[in-house]
Amino acid sequence: MIQTAPEMIASVFVLFCRIGACLMTAPGFSSPRTPVRVRLFIALTLTLALAPALTGGKPFALGGLAGLVGAIFSELAIGGFIGLLGRLFFLALETMMMSASMSIGLSNPLGAPINEAEALPGLGVLVSVTATCLIFVMGLHWELIRGLVASYSVMPVGTGLRPQAALASYSDVLARTFVMALRVSSPFIVYGVIANFAVGLLNRLTPQVPVYFISGPFLVAGGLILFYFIVNSMIPAFMADFADWAVKGS
CB 123, CB 96: distance < 8 Å: no
Here the contacts of 158-166 (C-beta below 8 Å, separation 24 or greater) are: 158/60, 158/61, 158/62, 158/67, 158/70, 158/71, 158/74, 159/74, 160/70, 160/74, 160/77, 160/78, 161/74, 161/77, 161/78, 161/81, 166/81
Q: Quote the strand ranges of 57-212, DSSP E.
A: none
Mean predicted confidence (pLDDT) in 116-143: 83
Q: Which residue has the higher pLDDT, 165 or 112?
A: 165
Q: Exposed/middle/buried for 232, CB within 10 Å: 0-12, 13-18, 19+?
A: exposed
pLDDT digit string (tens) for 172-202? 888 989 888 888 888 988 998 888 888 878 7
pLDDT of 4 reads 58
Q: Determine which of 78-82, 89-93, 121-125, 205-209 has the lowest per-residue pLDDT on average.
A: 205-209
Which of 2-11, 99-108, 144-153 is most confident?
A: 144-153
pLDDT digit string (tens) for 37-64? 888 899 999 998 888 888 877 777 777 7
3-state percent breakdown (helix, strand, coil) of the chain, nearest 5 = 75, 0, 25
Q: Exposed/middle/buried for 234, CB within 10 Å: 0-12, 13-18, 19+?
A: buried
3-state SS class at 178: helix
Number of domains forming the structure of the chain: 1
User: 186 lies in which domain range?
Assistant: 5-248
Confidence of residue 3 (pLDDT cuts 50, 70, 90): very low
pLDDT of 250 reads 61
